[in-house]
Amino acid sequence: MSGLSISPISLSDYLNQSLAYLRLPITNLESQRSELEVKNAVFTDLGEKLSALEDALDRMSASGMSSLFRSKSVMSSAESLLTATATGAAQAGSHTVFVTQLARAHAVVSSRYDQDGTALSQSQSGTKAFSITVDGEAYDISVNISAGETDAAVLANIASAINDATDGKIAASYVMDTPSTGKISIRSGSTGTTGSMTFTDTDGLLSVLGVTNGTEATDTVGGYIYADLGGTELDAKLTVDGINVISSDNVVENVVGGLTFTLLAEQEAGDAPVTLSVMVDTESIKADVEEFLEAYNEVFTYLREKTRVDGVTYERGTLAGQFPYVSLRISMRGSMSAYVSGGSTSYNALSQIGITSDRSGSFSVTDSSLLEEAIGSDPEALESLFAGEGGVAASLADLISGYTAAGGTISSSEDGVGARIDLIDKSIERQERRLEIKEQDLRDRYGALQEALYILQQTSSLTAMFSSLLGF
């Protein structure tokens, strides 16, 4: 009689199989949660792509002088002297500009002082006060001069006091004009006559320094570097199309409607005027249109992928059967393909300006010549096609806003999925607690059974041994 042979490992495997079976409901719930998390990630991605499309639509749907279809570019014949930018209000054409003088800031300097000398601290020790008025605001400044301080230290302290009191409206600095001497420089923070500084020398310190001399500074004696002497010496002076213009700033706005000049250098008598050529910015407009199409295609392709059902494998996209998102895809394509009846009669469809779709529903510029002709000949009609009542960009923007707005479709979808995930998490938590109790009970039972089987196995082995000895 052979001994009883029962493997404890088979019982362990059976226990694990039992536990796996009991865990199936939790596994199913975890699978559902993973699917919902994937869906929420899709909603997040879609929201980001729609936001990017909305940014493009904001530019496409702007109207009036802000319309991108009225964008102008400016070419300067001498960019080292003068550059310019244009808004939609600028008229195409050319202008001549001659820059006689750049605007500059009122600037004064002190007399020259030895770096290591103590002339100032010997004659001006104590607290000294003065004020500087610029742009209609007076700034009170106070500086303490200690006996024995070097002139370099005194001038540096005065510069710091001015800077601290005026918060950038006036700039002061200590400048070494030779290896052993230095001066204090005081400059208005604003260019032009309107930025001129007025000094009130309460304790006579400024007079001692020489900054209020009222004369032009020399290498050794203080005075002005740039000042208003009654002849608009601080202002920019230029001639635009033969008309003399004075500006307090080197950035000159709207002397010609919609144009902003940036003056960079002065011209000499006899130099040729700078020619500014204003033209429709075709390349920039085309780039904006193509950026819009790219953003549209990004959203449309994503929606098509996520809402599709494969006709052969029946594999379903994450949003397949979700009516709001199937509807969004269909409506987006409809807006792009629609005939725009309101506004201009020149262009009523994207196809008329060289923009068409392929079989997948993506749109692109397929005839650049048509688009360029429209930009050059009738920008107002293009604006109407995109931004007018019922226009392509306007209708798309209205459609998408219902999805991206706070409390809109995407937000509601995310909230709904999030609520379902919360319910699943709570259900998993409850079932995990129950499973822990069942698992412990099973382990206790299988432990007792294994112990009994071990005893039975030992008893069987002894019985077999005695039987052999007795000859049975």
The predicted structure's pLDDT at residue 471: 60
The predicted pLDDT at position 459 comes to: 76
pLDDT at 470: 66
pLDDT at 119 over 80: yes
- 107's CB contacts (< 8 A; 6+ apart) are 185, 186, 187, 188, 224, 225, 226, 227
Sign of CA dihedral 312, 317, 322, 324: negative
Q: How far is CA 433 from CA 14, 15, 267, in A?
A: 22, 18, 87
Letter string b/e over residues 109-120, b meaning 16 or more CB atoms within 10 A of that residue's CB? bbbbbebeebeb
Q: What is the percentage of the chain residues whose pLDDT exceeds 70?
A: 94
pTM of the model as a whole: 0.72
8 A C-beta contact, residue 54 and residue 397: yes
Q: For residues 86-98, give the mean pLDDT.
A: 94
The token pair that represents 74 in the structure block: 């400016």
| Cα 395 from Cα 26, distance rounded (Å) | 47
Asked if pLDDT for residue 38 goes beyond 50, the answer is yes
- Among the listed residues 192, 186, 336, 353, the one whose alpha carbon sits nearest the alpha carbon of residue 286: 353
**Chain mean pLDDT for the chain:** 91
Note the pLDDT tens digit of each residue in 61-77: 988 888 999 999 999 99
CB 352 within 8 A of CB 392: no
Which domains are delineated in the chain?
A: 1-71+281-472 (1.20.1330), 72-103+235-280 (no CATH), 105-226 (3.30.70)
In whole angstroms, what is the distance from residue 156 CA to residue 413 CA? Answer: 65
E-state strands within 241-325: 243-247, 251-253, 259-263, 274-280
- The Cα 262–Cα 251 span in angstroms is 5
d(Cα 255, Cα 243) in Å, to the nearest integer? 10
CA–CA gap between residue 180 and residue 66 (Å, rounded): 58
DSSP 445: H
Q: For 341-369, how does the pLDDT look when each residue is reduced to its tens digit (9 = 90+)?
A: 866 668 999 999 999 999 999 999 999 99
pLDDT in tens, 49-65: 999 999 999 999 988 88
Residue 96's φ and ψ, nearest 5 degrees, are -110, 135
What is the pLDDT, as a whole number, of residue 413? 93
Residue 455: pLDDT over 80: no
Contact yes or no for 264/233 (Cβ under 8 A): no
pLDDT band at 443 (very low <50, low <70, confident <90, very high): confident
